[in-house]
Amino acid sequence: MKKFLAVILALAMMMTSVLALAETSYTGTAKGFVDEIQVTVTLNDDGSIADVVVDKCSDTPGVCDAAVEKIPAAMKELNSINVDTVGGATFTSNGILAAVKNALESNGVDTTALMEKKEVVVDKAADETLECDVVVIGAGGAGLAAAITAEQNGANVIVVEKMAKVGGNTILAGGAVNAVEDRSEFAIKQNDSVYWHYWQTLNGGDWQGDPELVMTLVENAYEGIQWTKELGMEWLGEEAVFTVSGGLWPRAWKPAGMASAGFFETYGNYIDNTDKISLMLNTKAEEIMVDASGAACGIIATGETGNTITINAKSVVVATGGFSKNVELRMAYDSIWGMLDEKVLSTNHPGATGDGVKMLQKLNADFIQMGNIQLLPLGDPQTGSLSGNIEHGVDSRIFVNKSGLRYGDEGGRRDDMTRDLFAQEDNLMWIVMDSDTYPTGDEINNFGETANQLVAAGRAVKADSLEELAALMNVDAENLKATIAEYNEYCIGGSKEGQADQFGRTLFGAPIDTAPFYAGARVPTVHHTMGGVRIDTLCRVYNENGEIIENLYAAGEVTGGIHGANRLGGNALADTIVFGRIAGESAALCK
């Protein structure tokens, strides 16, 4: 018997060894959103997929996570390398798919069978009805700020999010938050104040913003920063406060981590440690329910499997974001640009399609300033994204056109800078700066990308001389050198031969004179829809008759009346924190 068992054990070990040898692994790479993605694909001896592992992915945390998790799992489940991309992480998804294919084909593996498209068969779950105190539609910055604040005020909360991940547009932003504390030595040193922030916000929006909403924003922004700190989020100190593009003043706080991902790491940690907030991803709100009196009383949503989910609640918070990704809506409402068709790219995530607008319209909610749509001159030429931008702050760079010449005030309003760019050849400009903020090239930009990564990925160029930089940019070298020499005179003396800058620029930092030099191409891109549903300082929603729709609140980009005709850079994330918190508190205290 012992001999028999020994033989069986030996045979089992041999079979295990044979099976191990039968599996073959292949490594491949492909371009991701930030840098190369590397994968390892393991096949069984019959050619089926044993495993897929993403070894390296430098794309933005929080954005790429769902793709890194779901695509390898789907490949193994379906035994196919032709699987669907993950919504909100398209570039990462395509990078993983391409890297897997490259891994196999570069090693001579015939992928014909593995490229067969297979549909995932999902059994439809049963319809269900849930109960809570507050239901929040949207898991972006405003939505999660509202959910956490509602929970902190004693409410049981359900958050529904149609995408496969949290974050919305907030997670794609650079993380800059305008906030002023009047009593701080830094604010005094910078000649800044809450009132100056208030005046610049109103003036920068052509005085179309509601003064009460604007004052609510600027008075509570600094407290919002402190609230995130209490939740565990880390920020760089006051010495790192800077002027974000279109912000008009150095009052933008910068997260210590990677861009806006820190918000969702912080919010996620809080949600993970409470049993009073439930987060439902891949769940699309379809309708806001109202009772016989017209008060909001919950929502009807479609679950991941197509089932109907009814959520009864005492109050509803709409935090669905704007509609910059909805070409039909932005063309219908646009009152500024007149050319916002599909050719104009957007910084926004795929879910920014105006779902909240459509649901609120069914309730006859009042909408204001819907034609106020903001464009930025800072989009990636291929994607429209803000990522890949080499700049750190307004005072450290210039914009030049395809002739190598400056053409406008790089520290001005966002709408003015965009109009200036539309007047240039091919609507394209180059951001030019030196190595002051990139002494080694491994320092990160506002989106967690290093200069070296951007250069390697072809999203920026780098040179040891201006002549070489001009050649890489394909611009006239003499023009570029003369442009930078003139700009440097303003940096050194504040003026050139006693004359102010011809374009009206007043923000000047260090001269552009230290090699290596960097440049990155940028184009106009749709960024923010300032118009939306009318709210008051308690985030209560109004109908077309000027009456409050009871138990209904809204926060974030779905609302209108705060930013006017042009939003200051750095005010959007402040908006999500300030009004998200107010909406959450109001909703929790609703009886």
Sign of CA dihedral 182, 183, 185, 188: positive
- Of 483, 504, 525, the domain-final residue: 525
Cα–Cα distance for residue pair 237/223, rounded to 1 Å: 15
Does the structure show a pLDDT above 90 at 493? no
Residue 478 and residue 568 in one domain = no
Residue 166 and residue 290 in one domain = yes
Does the structure show a pLDDT above 90 at 220? yes
Residue pLDDT, tens place only, 229-251? 999 999 998 888 999 999 999 99
**Exposed, middle or buried: residue 543 (CB in 10 Å: 0-12, 13-18, 19+)?**
middle
Predicted pLDDT of residue 497: 58
Sign of CA dihedral 465, 470, 471, 473: positive
Q: In what order do the strands lie in the sheet with 559-560?
A: 367-368, 532-534, 559-560
Burial readout 237-247 (b: 16 or more C-beta within 10 A, e: otherwise): eeeebbbbbbb
Question: Does 331 fall in a domain?
Answer: yes
Per mean pLDDT, which range of 160-169, 250-259, 482-491, 531-540 is the poorest? 250-259
Strand pairing class (36-43; 49-56): antiparallel
| Residue 41 CB neighbours (<10 A) | 26
Show Cβ contacts of residue 501 under 8 Å, excluding neighbours closer than 6 positions: 409, 490, 495
Does the structure show a pLDDT above 90 at 494? no
Question: Does 253 fall in a domain?
Answer: yes
Q: What percent of the chain has pLDDT over 90?
A: 68
Question: Does 180 fall in a domain?
Answer: yes
Show Cβ contacts of residue 53 under 8 Å, excluding neighbours closer than 6 positions: 39, 40, 42, 72
User: Phi and psi dihedrals of 212, rounded to 5?
Assistant: -70, -40
Residue 295 and residue 163 in one domain = yes
Q: What percent of the chain has pLDDT over 70?
A: 94
Does the structure show a pLDDT above 90 at 272? yes
Predicted pLDDT of residue 60: 67
CATH number (domain holding residue 467): 3.90.700.10
Question: Does 416 fall in a domain?
Answer: yes
Q: What angle do CA 565, 571, 576 make, to 5 degrees?
A: 110
User: For residue 253, what are the β-bridge partners?
Assistant: 177
Residue pLDDT, tens place only, 15-25? 444 444 468 99
Residue 296 and residue 417 in one domain = no
Mean of pLDDT values over 76-97: 85
Structural contact between residues 287 and 320, judged by C-beta atoms closer than 8 angstroms? no
- Of 509, 525, 541, the domain-final residue: 525
Which CA distances in Å does 147 have to 142, 285, 440, 448, 587? Answer: 9, 16, 41, 27, 9
Predicted pLDDT of residue 527: 95
Predicted pLDDT of residue 10: 53
Residue type, 19: L
Cα–Cα distance for residue pair 267/273, rounded to 1 Å: 10
The count of domains in the chain is 3
User: Phi and psi dihedrals of 324, rounded to 5?
Assistant: -65, -25
Cα–Cα distance for residue pair 586/417, rounded to 1 Å: 38
Question: Does 169 fall in a domain?
Answer: yes
Question: Does 8 fall in a domain?
Answer: no
The label of the residue with tokens 């780098």 reads 462
The label of the residue with tokens 């006051």 reads 238
Question: Does 472 fall in a domain?
Answer: yes
Per mean pLDDT, which range of 10-24, 345-359, 464-478 is the poorest? 10-24
Single out the residue of 244, 234, 261 nearest to residue 58, CA to CA: 261
Q: Confidence class of residue 457 from pLDDT cuts 50, 70 and 90?
A: confident
Q: Confidence class of residue 486 from pLDDT cuts 50, 70 and 90?
A: very high
- Of 50, 73, 105, the domain-final residue: 105
Q: Looking at beta carbons, which pairs linking 438-446 to residues 24 or more positions away fall under 8 Å?
A: 438/390, 438/516, 438/518, 441/516, 444/258, 445/389, 445/390, 445/391, 445/392, 446/174, 446/175, 446/176, 446/254, 446/259, 446/389, 446/391, 446/392
Question: Does 280 fall in a domain?
Answer: yes
Structural contact between residues 376 and 418, judged by C-beta atoms closer than 8 angstroms? yes
Does the structure show a pLDDT above 70 at 468? yes
Mean of pLDDT values over 370-384: 95
Predicted pLDDT of residue 424: 97
Q: Confidence class of residue 209 from pLDDT cuts 50, 70 and 90?
A: very high
Residue 143 and residue 44 in one domain = no
Predicted pLDDT of residue 19: 44
Predicted pLDDT of residue 392: 77
The label of the residue with tokens 């492909």 reads 30
Predicted pLDDT of residue 391: 85
Which CA distances in Å does 407 have to 411, 431, 508, 541? Answer: 12, 12, 16, 43
Q: Confidence class of residue 572 from pLDDT cuts 50, 70 and 90?
A: very high
Residue 459 and residue 351 in one domain = no
Query: Hey, what are 90's tokens?
Result: 């398209």
Does the structure show a pLDDT above 90 at 514? yes
Structural contact between residues 427 and 524, judged by C-beta atoms closer than 8 angstroms? yes
Residue 81 and residue 173 in one domain = no
Helical segments of 339-474, H only: 355-361, 414-422, 451-456, 466-473
Per mean pLDDT, which range of 187-196, 373-382, 573-582 is the poorest? 187-196
Mean of pLDDT values over 412-427: 96
Residue 147 and residue 39 in one domain = no
Mean of pLDDT values over 275-299: 97
Residue 285 and residue 351 in one domain = yes
Helical segments of 48-193, H only: 65-78, 90-105, 141-152, 185-189
Maximum mean pLDDT: which of 11-20, 58-67, 330-339, 533-542: 533-542
Mean of pLDDT values over 527-545: 97
Predicted pLDDT of residue 176: 92
Residue 535 backbone zone (phi > 0: left; psi -120 to 50: alpha; other: beta): beta
Mean of pLDDT values over 499-515: 90
Cα–Cα distance for residue pair 325/584, rounded to 1 Å: 26
Mean of pLDDT values over 402-431: 96
Beta strand residue intervals within 507-547, DSSP E: 517-529, 532-534, 540-542
Which domain range does residue 214 map to? 128-372+530-589
Does the structure show a pLDDT above 60 at 12? no
Residue 326 and residue 407 in one domain = no
As annotated, the active-site residues are 414
CATH number (domain holding residue 356): 3.50.50.60
CATH number (domain holding residue 96): 3.90.1010.20
Structural contact between residues 169 and 290, judged by C-beta atoms closer than 8 angstroms? no
Predicted pLDDT of residue 17: 44
Cα–Cα distance for residue pair 241/539, rounded to 1 Å: 29
User: For residue 28, what are the β-bridge partners?
Assistant: 39
Q: Helix %, strand %, coil % for the chain, to 5?
A: 35, 20, 45
Mean of pLDDT values over 149-168: 96
Single out the residue of 197, 199, 568 nearest to residue 414, CA to CA: 568
Does the structure show a pLDDT above 60 at 406? yes
Mean predicted lDDT score pLDDT of the chain: 91
Mean of pLDDT values over 166-172: 90
Mean of pLDDT values over 342-364: 95
Looking at per-residue pLDDT, the higher value among 464 and 496 belongs to 464
Residue 71 and residue 57 in one domain = yes
Predicted pLDDT of residue 91: 78
Residue 521 and residue 566 in one domain = no
Mean of pLDDT values over 119-123: 77
